[in-house]
Structure 1
């Protein structure tokens, strides 16, 4: 396959905004963490597909850092874009903004990094375009990505060693 043209982070930008309904909340009247995690994986997978223009699979979720509760009076906006790439893998950054629909107050409610792998028609990893960061946020994420990549590789090695001794 030929080298693909590099793309900017904003070419993979996805924004999903939803209202928080009573069925989306827990006994604290805040958004279920699992519901938010579903939103995060959904938008991140779209960002990875837009960047690569291939089918993608979630390879890992570093973490979901819940910073502030999202209340029933809020809307929740989940924004994602590809922040760094390897050969076939893409790191996707996701930020979650809660907005009080009456006051207009906005707050960063959560952040997450996920890794996706692009797959060809035979289900094999395929090379993806490099990413070009432009904004201060994108540049900071791009420059700090090698450190996160190293931590992911170490965590994967640990998980594989752990899996070798876990009984089924």
Structure 2
């Protein structure tokens, strides 16, 4: 595998993990708690529209982008887990006079398992989407990723 492809996949995978973790633990801008399914759907739609617009995607490419978005959303859902309040999990770990190492390790293993289980599908969807792009679109992705703000930044 070419080094730039590895870096791209690693970067996107890492961004997925960070985004999932931040979304799970964030309080959002105007509400408390994790994003609702409706808000996630709205954000996802905006991201898909923005990527489609920036890359001038055809229908087949848009379909592959939607598959990628589905896989990333499933990855996020698995990563967040069934906990109603991720902050409560962390608070429980540090609630006593000693750090609950066993509980922290269990939480880490649960999150790692979720990432490992869904990652092959995310990578396959990402590769299918990227491979469906023509050379000009692929170059645009590389150029946008080189910008300091990242390729999804406004402006």
Above 0.5 in TM-score? Answer: no
Q: TM-score, length-normalised on structure 1?
A: 0.28
Q: Give the structure with the higher percent strand.
A: 1
- TM-score by length of structure 2 reads 0.29
- Structure with more helix by fraction: 2
